[in-house]
Structure 1
Amino acid sequence: MTEPVFEHFAAEQARLRRDTVGDIFQRSYVDAIASGDPFDSPTEFMRRFDAYTNPSRSRGFELVVAYLDGTPAGQTWGWPLNPGAAWWGGLHLDDGDQSEFTRETGERTFALSEIMVCAEHTGRGLARALHQELLGGRPEQRATLLVEPDNDRAYAAYRKWGWVRVGWLRPSWESAPTFDVLIHNLPL
């Protein structure tokens, strides 16, 4: 694989790249979009992106875009969880004290919300490179992400990268599926 070039953007800068974000999504989630699931529609995806980058709630948001030969080829983003974060709404832990687990300070947990690679670039290590680029220098103690339990390819990659399942939840987004909740200690 050609070495990717990465660009990092805060929320305000990410909003200016909305077309690039949407294009990468559509080139990455081809099968999911074709399934007709409302949650995976480009319109709903961009509605969520707009909410994540809303200036009133986007403290610490970071988008990383990977370019191969000058063309956007993948992206990832996330943000640190603030006290009372909605991220943990509906969480069912496999083990442990839920109130302690979900206690956030704004510096404890980084939520990795999305990681995607355009279909024509999959299988070349770009997802791992994006993962490392976003999380490699994070100051938080841990990171969390949500994965659909039947997404075997993503699940296998996350386990290989050191993520472990701690429970499950269904986000409040309309038509959202149930996800497994994974955790990874930082630094990577």
Structure 2
Amino acid sequence: MSDAVQDVYARSYAEAIATGDPFESLEASMDRFDAYLRVPGFDLVVLYSNGEPIGQAWGWPLGENTAGWDGLQLDEVDPDFTREDGTRTFGLSEIMVVREHTGRGYARMLHDELLGTRREQRATLLVDPRNERAYERYRRWGWYKVGAQQPSWKGAPTFDVLIRPLPLVPDGLDLIS
């Protein structure tokens, strides 16, 4: 499975990898992925076309002692916002589709497949605020900003923190904010 994940990452993020930014390197991303595999409840969906992996999404439930909220700066202060018990919040870590297969609804398919059967109350994800294309899609899919965060990963940028309630809206309906 790691070979498929690495292949999709390399093809999806080829431009970012080519920048030479150590955070975006294939090696750094696979090191993070290997760490994610050890998180209890890790869930992965891989999309194949003609036997070739072309997209993937993964995440995990945030546990009671999660570091997932470290460095969080909330827009509105709620002392219970970061209270986790392993069943409250699912952390959506990645959605990616290789470039030659984008624009066909595959990212939404991966999103809905990964989150569609989750039992948590809500999901969270981090998005680069400069990534307007992804940001707009997430907003259309029912996500909204609650703050900002710079994760503790070496070289990590500051991301916007988005949240959406679970379960997902029934098929065929979109939330637009």
- Given the two structures, how large is their TM-score scaled by the length of structure 1? 0.88
Structure 1 counterpart of 2:68, one-letter code: W
User: What is residue 175 of structure 2 aligned with on the other side?
Assistant: none
Residue in 2 that maps onto 1:34 = 18
**What percent of counterpart residues are identical?**
62
CA drift of 1:84 comes to 2.3
**Within 2, Cα distance between the matches of 1:19 and 1:72?**
10
Matched residue, 1:6: none
- Tell me by how many angstroms 1:96 deviates: 2.8
* Shift, 1:69, TM fit: 1.9
Q: 1:151 aligns with which of 105, 127, 131?
A: 131
Q: Any idea what SS the aligned residue of 2:125 has?
A: strand
Q: Report the Cα distance in structure 2 between the residues aligned to 1:19 and 1:175, rounded to whole angstroms.
A: 24
- SS, match of residue 60 in structure 2: strand
- CA distance in 1: counterparts of 2:131 and 2:96, whole angstroms: 13
**Cα distance, 1:91 vs structure 2:** 0.3
1:62-73 to 2 correspondence within 5 Å?
Answer: 62-73=43-54
Report SS of the residue matched to 1:86.
Answer: coil
Counterpart among 163, 166, 170 of residue 143 in structure 2? 163
Instruction: Give, in whole Å, the separation in 2 of the partners of 1:40 and 1:126.
Output: 23
Aligned ranges 1:1-188 → 2 under 5 Å: 17-54=1-38, 58-97=39-78, 99-188=79-168
Query: Higher helix proportion, which one?
Result: 1
Q: Distance in 2 between matches of 1:38 and 1:70?
A: 31
- Give runs of ≥4 in structure 1 deviating > 2 Å: none
In 2, Cα distance between the equivalents of 1:95 and 1:143? Answer: 18
Query: Is the CA contact (8 Å cut-off) linking 1:84 and 1:103 kept in structure 2?
Result: no
Give per-residue Cα distances to partners, 1:80-114, cap 9 Å, x unaligned.
000121010000000131x3000001000000001
RMSD across aligned positions (CA):
0.7
Unaligned runs of 5+ in 1: 1-16
- Cα deviation, 1:12-61, whole Å, max 9, x if unaligned, reads xxxxx11111000001011111111111100000000011112xxx2110
Provide the rounded CA distance (Å) in 2 between the counterparts of 1:90 and 1:166.
Answer: 13
Distance 1:117 1:36 in 2: 21
Residue in 1 that maps onto 2:173:
none
Count of residue correspondences: 168
CA contact (8 A) 1:83 1:106 kept: yes
